[in-house]
Amino acid sequence: MATLTFLGATGTVTGSKYLFEHRDSSILVDCGLFQGLKELRLRNWMPLKINVHELGAVVLTHAHIDHTGYLPRLIKQGYNKAIYCTEATRGLLQIMLLDSAHLQEEDAKYANKRGTSKHKPALPLYSMEDAKQTIKLLKGIPYDTPFRPSPDIMMSFRDAGHILGSAFVIGRWDESGQERKIVFSGDLGRYERPILKDPSVILDTDYLLVESTYGKRLHNQGNPEEEIKRIVQDTYKRRGVVVIPAFSVGRTQELLYTLRELESAGEIPVLPVYVDSPMAIKATKLYAKHTEIYDKDAARLREQGIDVLQTARTEFTESVDASKRINASQDPCIIISASGMLTGGRILHHLIRRLPSPKNTIVFVGYQAVGTRGRALQNGKDKIKIHGMQIKSAAKIETINEFSAHADYREILSWLKQYKKAPKNTFIIHGEPDASINLQKLIKEELGWNTHIPQYQEKVRLD
């Protein structure tokens, strides 16, 4: 009989890892890094409760590090078989795993310099070399194309509409002559967002894993396009600069798409738009290449020969020198740079230059975690520390929340309501405890389904 063990994303939104076992087959779906609280991060250092040498395959829902960032650690422990993912996810991981390894190495270096680690010397969780080995094992599979990662199970990917390459992983196996089916939602995307398609409709399954990041929250009903328009217009009137700290994958491309739409409709002036993050530039190239993920609107524009990811005056500033040259600009412009929470990266030198002037606007389009510079600015702090200097905050601070890539609970329920019959069991994962509990309550009230919120390392039977 098949079993499923929950090795992450229980009671939290990070560390996604699910071990599916059936007869001689053992498959890990997602291999995410724990992030956030120290208690969770320490789990990345503990031995994984899997015999890595018996593991037959790894299958990934999408490229985000909380779903893939543990892979190089798995490879370090001796895993050397295939890692299946969509073609676009493979492309993204070539960028993101190296970046993750770089951050791990930087953390270790920092701990050694400061003497903050018990271990002497502090070692990285994994190295660039481990990440390079991981990338070699990635196997790209197109959407809707069955593949057999292990003798006892067939799998396939369906578009989840969350980020480039994101997928629902569907597994099918035989249980005493009867076919059984499981759906792993990964992260569920949203409806009617720019570029990406809506999440695919699935009609039936025996077992379902559904994420609950926004199990207790609804996105604002406001229109992010309108908000961007207002902010660009206002800042332009003050002859100021709009600085947008953005996550490189997903958010940056949605912004470019939205700015292009507004510009071509004459709703905002044509301004220089700088995309100033090497990772964002690489990710944008992948979005331009993988047009199979485009929704109808984006596909139609593309057929008309329009590059949906470029405004009239977009400049991709690859080199450090080109990035620094933006500082010289006195005229209104838009700067999109990383990191999204101002924890590092090129965005910092733009803040040093632009934050002290009331003419400029800093626009947050993503979640700002507690303790970050981004959160401090959102909370109205009048100065923040960057590179040892106190930088005065006089610029206008704005936040647009609607750019989230996760479905809220209404959207999750809409997706579930498309199933023609109730799964035997629905496992609610990938949420803070109160979010998962709230989604469980809503599913019971509105659908009457059987659900379960699994505990860390819990093993369930799929009979």
| Residues found near Zn ion in the complex (CB under 5 A) | 64, 187
Burial class of residue 214 (count of CB atoms within 10 Å of its CB; 0-12, 13-18, 19+): buried
For the bound state, the minimum distance from the C-beta of residue 64 to Zn ion, rounded and expressed in Å, comes to: 4
Is the Cβ–Cβ distance between 382 and 344 less than 8 Å?
no
> Which CB sits closer to Zn ion, 253 or 425?
253
For the bound state, the minimum distance from the C-beta of residue 250 to Zn ion, rounded and expressed in Å, comes to: 8
φ, ψ for residue 439, nearest 5 deg? -65, -40
Q: What's the length of the chain?
A: 463
AA letter at 374: G
> Which CB sits closer to Zn ion, 64 or 197?
64
Which residues 6+ apart lie within 8 Å of 287 measured at CB?
164, 195, 253, 293, 309
408 bridge partner residues: 214
For the bound state, the minimum distance from the C-beta of residue 16 to Zn ion, rounded and expressed in Å, comes to: 9
The three-point CA angle 358-359-361 to 5° equals: 85
SS3 of residue 263 by DSSP: helix
For the bound state, the minimum distance from the C-beta of residue 190 to Zn ion, rounded and expressed in Å, comes to: 12
> Which CB sits closer to Zn ion, 187 or 398?
187
| d(C-alpha 372, C-alpha 365), whole Å | 15
For the bound state, the minimum distance from the C-beta of residue 89 to Zn ion, rounded and expressed in Å, comes to: 11
> Which CB sits closer to Zn ion, 68 or 425?
68
AA letter at 168: F
> Which CB sits closer to Zn ion, 187 or 263?
187
For the bound state, the minimum distance from the C-beta of residue 197 to Zn ion, rounded and expressed in Å, comes to: 16
Query: Which value, to the nearest 10 degrees, does the dihedral of the CA atoms of residues 92, 98, 100, 106 take?
Result: -160
Transcribe 183-211 into DSSP letters: EE--S---SS-SSBPPPPP----SEEEEE
> Which CB sits closer to Zn ion, 217 or 424?
217
| d(C-alpha 406, C-alpha 34), whole Å | 18
For the bound state, the minimum distance from the C-beta of residue 382 to Zn ion, rounded and expressed in Å, comes to: 34
SS3 of residue 36 by DSSP: coil
> Which CB sits closer to Zn ion, 131 or 167?
167
Cα 372 to chain centroid, rounded? 18
Q: Cβ of 396: how many Cβ atoms within 10 Å?
A: 18
For the bound state, the minimum distance from the C-beta of residue 66 to Zn ion, rounded and expressed in Å, comes to: 7
Phi-psi group of 270: left, alpha or beta (phi > 0 → left; psi -120 to 50 → alpha; rest → beta): beta
| d(C-alpha 370, C-alpha 351), whole Å | 19
> Which CB sits closer to Zn ion, 246 or 384?
246
> Which CB sits closer to Zn ion, 339 or 393?
339
For the bound state, the minimum distance from the C-beta of residue 208 to Zn ion, rounded and expressed in Å, comes to: 18
For the bound state, the minimum distance from the C-beta of residue 162 to Zn ion, rounded and expressed in Å, comes to: 6
For the bound state, the minimum distance from the C-beta of residue 110 to Zn ion, rounded and expressed in Å, comes to: 26
> Which CB sits closer to Zn ion, 64 or 216?
64
AA letter at 18: Y
| d(C-alpha 449, C-alpha 382), whole Å | 50
CA distances (Å), origin 272, targets 67, 97, 209, 340, 348: 35, 31, 44, 20, 20
| d(C-alpha 284, C-alpha 305), whole Å | 17
**Best CA proximity match to 337, nearest among 256, 420, 266:** 256
> Which CB sits closer to Zn ion, 13 or 298?
13
| d(C-alpha 20, C-alpha 6), whole Å | 9
